[in-house]
Structure 1
Amino acid sequence: MAIYEFYCPTCREKFEQRRPMSAVNEPASCSRGHRAERVLSMFAAPRGAVATADSPAGGCCGGGACACASAN
């Protein structure tokens, strides 16, 4: 299951829906039943966060195989 973000232009409401990736192009409705449009979701990382080889996830890029962590 993936989380997709939608926007209702009638209500000016943004909301999220969990749905299978196979249903990505199916229409969505807001809580009032209006047709909503899928929007590009944004994500954020904490400012100043640096990936390290000893981080719980194993470093950046799945184990530190790239030079991302040594960019600082």
Structure 2
Amino acid sequence: MPRYDYRCRACGDTFEVSRPMIEASDPAPCPAGHADTVKLLSTVAVTGKAPSTPQPRPATGGGCCGGGCCS
């Protein structure tokens, strides 16, 4: 289930709420009881290493010009 980050405008506390995506835009009350909260923009960090040299692509064949059907 996705987690969404919120911040309370009254006390400044940030908190997470786990809820279905269909409820993502529903209001989320602060754990301290305040109702004036705002949903924060979440970022996703993706790490990894790409090859330093281009890898050859396999031949796919087929297609009009690749399959020899053009005359």
Q: Could you say which TM-score interval applies, normalised by the shorter chain?
A: 0.5 to 0.7
| Percent of aligned positions that are identical | 35
Taking only aligned residues, the RMSD between alpha carbons, in angstroms, comes to: 2.0
More displaced 10-residue stretch of structure 1: 3-12 or 33-42: 33-42
Structure 1 gaps of 5+ residues are 52-68
Asked which structure has the greater CA Rg, the reply is 2
Q: Would you tell me which structure has more helix in proportion to its own residues?
A: 1
Q: Deviations over 1:26-63 (max 9, x none)?
A: 11011111121101023446xxx633xxxxxxxxxxxx
Relative contact order, higher structure (CA 8 A, sep 6+): 2
Over 6 Å off, 4+ runs = none
Structure 2 gaps of 5+ residues are 54-71
TM-score (norm 2): 0.61
Query: In the alignment, residue 10 of structure 1 is paired with which amino acid?
Result: A
Q: Would you tell me which structure has more strand in proportion to its own residues?
A: 1
